[in-house]
Chain A
Amino acid sequence: GDSVTQMEGPVTLSEEAFLTINCTYTATGYPSLFWYVQYPGEGLQLLLKATKADDKGSNKGFEATYRKETTSFHLEKGSVQVSDSAVYFCALSKTQGGSEKLVFGKGTKLTVNP
């Protein structure tokens, strides 16, 4: 079945460091791909998404490109801030039974130190 694999954490970086969180997927068809972020004590929030191959999603300095040939959707940010500390989830969506369903990776906890 469809699945998402993302790099295990936790990831600890210093402020202004470069961030990459790897995400690969297995799916039939052409899913949409997402990155969600969960700040401490809050619900998941959509960070960015891409709906077709070669699309680049971007938001708040984060970017990810839908790579069909490598079935990947790696999350990157050039300079992280302390406020980026959170858990990041990669996900794909598929339409099943008339509704859109999300399949999540396990999440990667990021800690950014000042």
Chain B
Amino acid sequence: GAVVSQHPSRVICKSGTSVKIECRSLDFQATTMFWYRQFPKQSLMLMATSNEGSKATYEQGVEKDKFLINHASLTLSTLTVTSAHPEDSSFYICSAMGSPYEQYFGPGTRLTVT
């Protein structure tokens, strides 16, 4: 149980385009999901907290107009990187808050912007 999926696992896009990453909790409902970014040899950095039915809460320094988060249902949150640039290339990981208040992580999405 407590499986979280991400789609796609890898994506390559051209500079200036937008890309959407999906995070799904497959066998449980999650009112809260989190989005992280991981640079090579760096720790996971929390980008935002996504709550179903309300606006996401972004961490300091994260541009909310660039990283659009939508938590439309109890099993799906999406992260859209708008007008992507090469510096947005990274590994994006989501997690979903299960019970009792444990985070379950997706396998991550590798974004490359050319």
Residues of A with Cβ closer than 8 Å to B? 4, 36, 41-46, 89, 97, 99-107
Q: Is the interface of B mostly helix, strand, loop or mixed?
A: strand
Give the shortest distance, in Å, between A79 (CB) and chain B (any CB): 27
The docked-state distance in angstroms from the alpha carbon of A62 to that of B61 is: 36
| Residues from chain B with Cβ under 8 Å of A4 in the complex | 43
Residues of B with Cβ closer than 8 Å to A? 4, 6, 32, 34, 41-44, 46, 49, 51, 57, 93, 95, 97, 101-108
Give the shortest distance, in Å, between B90 (CB) and chain A (any CB): 15
Q: CB distance B46 to A42 under 8 Å? A: no
Q: Is the interface of A mostly helix, strand, loop or mixed?
A: strand
| Residues from chain A with Cβ under 8 Å of B51 in the complex | 99
Given known A-B contacts A44-B93, A99-B49, A106 and B43 have beta carbons under 8 A apart: yes
Supplied contacts A4-B43, A106-B43, 13 more A-B pairs, CB within 8 Å: A41-B107, A42-B107, A43-B93, A44-B95, A45-B105, A46-B103, A89-B43, A99-B51, A99-B57, A101-B46, A102-B34, A104-B44, A105-B43
Closest to A45 in B: B105
